[in-house]
A and B are shown apart, each in its own frame.
Chain A
Amino acid sequence: MKDFLTYLVTGITLGASFALIGSGFVVVHRVTRIVNFAQGSFAIIATMLSASLLRGRLPHGLAEAAAVLVCGVVGAGVGWVALGRRGTHPLISLIVTLGLSILASAVIILLWGQDPVSPPGLHGHVTLLGVEVERQRLLVLVITLLAFAALALFFSRTYLGKALTASASNPYAARLVGIDVRRMGLLAFALAGILGGLAGVLVAPSNALSFSSDLALALSGFAAAVFGGLSSPGRTLVGGLLLGVAGQLTAGYLNGSYQTTVALLLMLLIMIARSRTFVAEEAK
């Protein structure tokens, strides 16, 4: 029983980071119908940058925040290229973001080298439900929950959030009421940059990240986002947590190397099962 609880708790904290990356996918897709392959790259860039800033004697909290904000700018840049000219098909944009994520790897190696980086985080453990949990992992969970709450409020209560949703819902009508749809797209990408960067700085202290980690991160995040149909932040959170727990249970009871496979299989099953709803959403 204790084992089960351990897997459950670690799974939840791990899943929270998946959900955070997944939320980046959701934000971009909601507004632009694009799937941003470079979502994982934001996490790596933020990690590397924050580690450098910490070495440069910038205090904790400030270094991470600065790194995350820079990722927001990077995100906007990615968006600017990916959105392309008017009428670029979202699938083309997807492959463009793939190209950008590869380019990002080049930049990361150029600036920070190829070695994995794990900046210092919170030290020590806390006991939760009789299970020992690292403080850092708990921090991930708390901040993820806060981020999701903030996102939900943003989209439903703020004028800007509604404008973003409208751009996704009916770009023609959005333009009609004076919303600059392209600017909304850039804003969505910037937001995704911040969310991805946040995920990076939170995860890196526990799991070292390198230039090649972006694919694994992006896939986990995408799997979580698939749960929410790439449009619901709430269900993305649930999806991320479920995936994290499923992964940990697999690693614990079966075999660690099957972790990714289980996650991928789950993702595929959900995508296929929901494929008819997806098609309806795309058609809108």
Chain B
Amino acid sequence: MLRIDDLVVRYGAAVALDGVSLHLEAGEMVALVGPNGAGKSTLLNAVSGLVPPASGSVTCEGRIAQVPEGRQMFPDMTVEDNLVLGGWSVRNRDLGEVLDLLPDLVRLRKLKAGRLSGGQQQMVAIGRALMAKPDLLAIDELSLGLAPLVVAELAEHLRFLNSERGTAILLVEQEVSLAFELCPRTCVLEAGRVVAAGPSAELAESEAVRRAYFGDLGVSDELMAGFAGTEVHS
């Protein structure tokens, strides 16, 4: 469904993405991990059409909606208005479906988005993206600044979305364990290039990931074993 072929993106003279290729099938859940500055957000923005490619291509046979890093609410507008605006590109003002999927939003409807907690805002951001009736949900840093319990709840919602609605998910995540746990397939990005890609379970044990992530920190084998032993949902 989503094909990224040899994508090159530049910011002025700096090369943010240097020939990235990635394929995603309908209904798949793929994670994108890598250190800071690897180009994960840039890749997501290129996929969403916010950043033009210098060369290479991004083709998608369906609609993409992004859940941006840091939630990016319309702070002085109500949750309801935030959601309604999410459907702007498809002129969808009907909140019914989204509220069914994310029932917690019902009691938050009339509140100003700027006053919500991080977790609540993240839910609004997801709901807002869903209003566009996307085939692919591109999520940038789901867990950023959120408590583990909140993240777990959000992850549940995403799993439900994927299994019940068949919505594909491309998840950019700093929190590697979350990425591996949620998505069966992972792609590792470093300095604008894909250094590893494949089933999450395999990557959890690989050298490339350790290098990309932990560098010379010398993480203990026990910790790595912990990753390898993570359950993977299909």
Contacts and interface: CB of A to CB of B under 8 A. Distances in A.
Direct touching of A and B (C-beta under 8 Å): yes
Interface of A: 159, 162-163, 165-166, 169-170, 172-179, 284
B72 A170 contact: yes
Given A162-B81, A162-B85, A178-B132, 11 more contacts: A159-B88, A159-B91, A163-B85, A166-B81, A169-B76, A169-B77, A173-B68, A173-B72, A173-B74, A177-B89, A179-B85
A139 B53 CA distance: 56
Contacts of B86: 177
A156 to B, nearest CB: 9
Contact of B50 (A165, A175, A284): A175
A172 B68 contact: yes
Interface in B180-197: none
B113 to A, nearest CB: 9
A174 B68 CA distance: 11
Nearest to A165: B77
B77 A166 contact: yes
B93 interface: yes
Contact of A166 (B50, B66, B74, B89): B74
B48 interface: yes
A177 B85 contact: yes
A199 to B, nearest CB: 27
A153 to B, nearest CB: 14
Q: Give the dominant DSSP class at A's interface.
A: helix
Interface string B84-108: 1111110101000000000000000
B66 A176 contact: yes
Contact of A176 (B68, B76, B84, B93): B68
Contacts, number: 51
20 contacts: A159-B84, A159-B88, A159-B91, A159-B93, A162-B81, A162-B84, A162-B85, A166-B74, A166-B77, A169-B74, A169-B75, A170-B73, A170-B75, A172-B68, A173-B73, A175-B50, A176-B50, A176-B68, A176-B72, A177-B85
A170 B50 contact: no
A162 B85 CA distance: 8
Contacts of A177: 85-89, 128, 132
B163 to A, nearest CB: 26
Interface in B51-75: 66, 68, 72-75
Contacts of B84: 159, 162
A137 to B, nearest CB: 35
A166 B81 CA distance: 9
Of residues A169, A172, A173, A175, which shows the largest number of chain B Cβ atoms within 10 Å of its Cβ?
Answer: A173
Given A159-B93, A163-B88, A170-B72, A176 B77 contact: no
Contacts of B50: 175-176
A170 B121 CA distance: 14
Contacts of A166: 74, 77, 81, 85
B74 A178 contact: no
A99 B107 CA distance: 50
Interface in B101-157: 128, 132
Contacts of A169: 74-77
A159 B132 CA distance: 15
A104 B123 CA distance: 49
A173 B66 CA distance: 10
A284 B48 CA distance: 24
A174 B93 CA distance: 16
B185 to A, nearest CB: 25
A170 B86 CA distance: 13
Contacts of B76: 169
A162 B93 CA distance: 12
Contacts of A162: 77, 81, 84-85
A13 to B, nearest CB: 32
Nearest to B81: A162
Contacts of B88: 159, 163, 177-179
A280 to B, nearest CB: 12
A12 to B, nearest CB: 30
B125 to A, nearest CB: 9
Of residues A169, A177, A179, A284, which shows the largest number of chain B Cβ atoms within 10 Å of its Cβ?
Answer: A177
B234 to A, nearest CB: 31
